[in-house]
Amino acid sequence: MQSLTNRVILVTGAAKRIGRDIAIRLAREGASVAIHYNGSEAEARETSALCGFAPFFKANLEHVAEIERLFEDVTERFGRIDGLVNNAARYTRRDPLAITEADWDFIHSVNLKATFFCCQQGAKRMLGNPDGGRIVNISSLGGIRPWADHAHYCASKAGVIMLTRALATAFAPKVSVNSVAPGVIPFGPHDAEIDRLIAKTPAQRAGTGEEIADAVAYFLAASNFVTGQVLAVDGGLSQK
């Protein structure tokens, strides 16, 4: 395994919840973390403080021009980028018969389109590093299992999984691309859907952001012989 010490790693959507836990974990491993946020500036400041006052960068990832500026800003600040964690995403529940074009674009513009263009911007820089780089895409159990009221979300996350596999072949051998697929990782009060999923989970509990961060840290530190893989961290729910 490679050390993450002084590796420059950008985490998108890192102001709170899973993204914050990933950023904290990487900072503890000695990485130089770049914290991305969009609307949650106060939370991004808190994450920064928890990561040794790591710099934070605002961008609306719906727009490719903002993605390009984000990567330019991070590269200018640190001089390089060694790792990228595509964590930012949206989640909605909709009856497929009622989904509008706007509902579809709301999800896909961030979950799939932004993930692709962040991979592109990250890889353009990491392929120029003498020792390459690492990309980890956060997908979802919903990209593996079909959920009737989340067809649009499931399709976006299945897309993230295939992007991971296709880009792993495109960017090898210098840049590895892997995915972590979280199961149920609640942060607030549980609704009926969360309780129903936890009841079906073989581990008989929900997961934590720290458990997702463990898997992310593994892929970032692994050799380039580990690429194109999807690791479900879901208490076994994907096996049901």
CB nearer to ligand NAP: give 21 or 82: 21
Q: How far is the CB of 15 from ligand NAP (least distance, A)?
A: 4
156 Cβ contact list (under 8 Å, min separation 6):
89, 107, 108, 111, 112, 143
- At 194, the amino acid letter reads I
From candidates 2, 65, 91, 239, binder to ligand NAP by CB under 6 A: 91
Q: Nearest approach, Cβ of 230 to ligand NAP (angstroms)?
A: 12
Q: Is 89 in the site for ligand NAP (CB under 6 A)?
A: yes
- Residue closer to ligand NAP, measured from CB, 133 or 207: 207
Answer for which of 24, 51, 61, 123 binds ligand NAP (CB under 6 A) is: 61
Report helix, strand and coil shares of the chain as percent, to nearest 5: 50, 15, 35
User: Which amino acid makes up residue 33?
Assistant: V
Q: How far is the CB of 3 from ligand NAP (least distance, A)?
A: 25
- Give the span between the Cα atoms of 233 and 24, in whole angstroms: 18
Burial 164-180 (b: 16+ CB within 10 A, else e): bbebbeebeeebbbbbb
- Binds ligand NAP (CB under 6 A): choice among 31, 74, 112, 138: 138
Does 156 help bind ligand NAP (rule: CB under 6 A)? no
Which residues sit at the interface with ligand NAP, rule CB under 6 A? 13, 15-19, 37-40, 60-62, 87-91, 110, 138, 140-141, 182, 184-185
